A = this chain, B = another copy of it.
Amino acid sequence: MELFSFFNSSASYRVRIALALKDIPFEYHPINIRTGEHHKEVYVKGSSPSASVPAMRDGEFSLSQSLAIIDWLDAHYPEPRLIPINGDARARVLELSCLIACDIHPVNNMRILKYLQDELKVTPTQKEAWYQHWIAEGMDAVERLLQRAEKQSGGPWCFGKVPTLADCCLIPQMANAKRFGCDLSRYSLANAIYLHAMADPAFIQAAPTNQPDHIAP
């Protein structure tokens, strides 16, 4: 198994958590999205036609898109499962994961912030306001979904006693928001999950600071 990843990419971080939770050994290929390595022909043709990180390769089979990769990992390395097989539990895990992966993360990732800065010439204050606006709107929704789940699940993870795809999405998103200086203290359920994850060996192993391509700020 090979993983194409950038240490600071939240979507890569999701897959790294999944690999660590399942204890799957893999070869790490750093793809520096700051210098545009994800657009290079050798990477796009060879591993990721979607020109993004993460991507994985298993023999001749390569796959991009973090949620698709984690779904694939669940099929091939089912222990522990990260997406419940069926029922309401499955729907709830996918709902929260999609909220983060579709509604929150994409509007604040590096390429968007770079476009705002380089093409639209926004000020640092405007860029920060943009970032914080979407985090607040998105995390408000996350906390509401967690409140609804809390009645049944009781934690310490998003949906009960074991981590799922939802935790693989939530923790990188919160780490990202904290890196940008967002105050997340009012999201008490999300915060409790974050603190729990910060002490979990798999989440520690997958963290940006523990990757071979980590660059100090």
For A105, A126, A144, which residue has the most chain B Cβ atoms within 10 angstroms? A144
30 A-B pairs whose Cβ atoms sit less than 8 Å apart in the complex: A49-B145, A50-B95, A50-B144, A51-B137, A51-B141, A52-B103, A52-B141, A63-B95, A64-B95, A65-B95, A65-B99, A67-B94, A67-B98, A68-B91, A68-B95, A68-B97, A68-B98, A71-B91, A71-B94, A72-B91, A75-B86, A98-B101, A101-B101, A107-B107, A115-B130, A116-B120, A119-B126, A120-B122, A120-B126, A120-B130
Residues of B within 8 A of A181 (CB): none
User: Known: A49-B145, A107-B106. Is A64-B99 also a contact (CB below 8 A)?
Assistant: yes
Give the distance in Å from the alpha carbon of A76 to the alpha carbon of B135 in the complex: 33
A57 within 8 Å of B (CB atoms): no
Binding site for B on A (CB under 8 A): 44, 49-52, 61, 63-68, 71-72, 75, 86, 88, 90-91, 94-95, 97-99, 101-103, 105-107, 112, 115-116, 119-120, 122, 126, 129-130, 133, 137, 140-141, 144-145, 147-148
* Contact among B44, B71, B103 with A90 in the assembled complex (CB-CB below 8 Å): B71
SS of A interface (majority): helix
